[in-house]
Amino acid sequence: MKEENDIVLRCSSIVKYFTTPVKFKALNNISFTIQRGEFLSLIGKSGSGKSTLLYVLSTMDTDYEGTLEINNTLLTGKTLNQLSDFRNEHIGFVFQFHFLLPEFSCLKNVMLPALKLGKKSEKEVEHDAYEKLRLLGVADQALKTANTLSGGQQQRVAIARALINNPTIIMGDEPTGNLDKTNSDIVFGIFRELTADYGQTIIAVTHDQDFAQRTDRIIELSDGELLTSNR
């Protein structure tokens, strides 16, 4: 059973305005919590505010009202440098397009965020990177340059990279948006395993109804407002 107080993310009364071309309220009073080990999908029509909300939750956007806490740390009001450090340690990103460095080996791509964090030796980081690549079933690709892998393999390497610092939460914006059904199912299965077996927390923006229905919990936005959330 998940503990009631095992909350990894809490956002309270988030309001977000865009000011150009005209003042426009993109997020209206968004409050919810996410518990450790939850696999959550964020859905809603195009333009409903999904990417805007994920941008706030990921600490990339600091121009909002309300408060954001991750791992019991209040992030609202922190400096950009503090937020950058926090993200590297606590948030793993998986995007629609993988953003791997194409000329670098898969191993090196996975190692980079940990080398940047600087808490472990290069040898330890390499060991960790192999472990993540094995978990994702692509350890045999470690020494190839990223641009020689298939799309599905590249996305798995990107997930290994997102996991390298054992983040508090993985955030994805359409993480399967660029994959065919087979690879999309593989990535879904990996997310499911990470949450169920490793207690990883995941929030994924998706427009794929089938994907969303199979997650633990769906949060739906409509015109910047939360439609469904049970907490």
Ligand X SMILES: Nc1ncnc2c1ncn2[C@@H]1O[C@H](COP(=O)(O)OP(=O)(O)O)[C@@H](O)[C@H]1O
Contact predicate 134/110, CB 8 Å? no
Per partner kind, with CB cut-offs from 5 to 8 A, the member of ligand X, Mg ion, none near residue 172 is none
Contact predicate 68/147, CB 8 Å? no
- Of the candidate residues 46, 72, 81, 182, the single one contacting ligand X (CB under 6 A): 46
What contacts 140, CB < 8 A, 6 or more positions away? Answer: none
Nearer residue to ligand X within complex by CB, 26 or 226: 26
- Of the candidate residues 29, 51, 84, 96, the single one contacting Mg ion (CB under 5 A): 51
DSSP 123: H
Q: Which stretch binds ligand X (CB under 6 A): 50-58, 66-74, 81-89, 189-197?
A: 50-58
- Asked if 51 touches ligand X (CB under 6 A), the answer is yes
Nearer residue to ligand X within complex by CB, 82 or 222: 222
Nearer residue to Mg ion within complex by CB, 133 or 221: 221
Q: How does 122-142 read in b/e, with b if 16+ C-beta sit within 10 Å?
A: eeebbebbbebbebbebbebb
Binding residues vs ligand X (CB under 6 A):
18, 20, 26, 44, 46-52
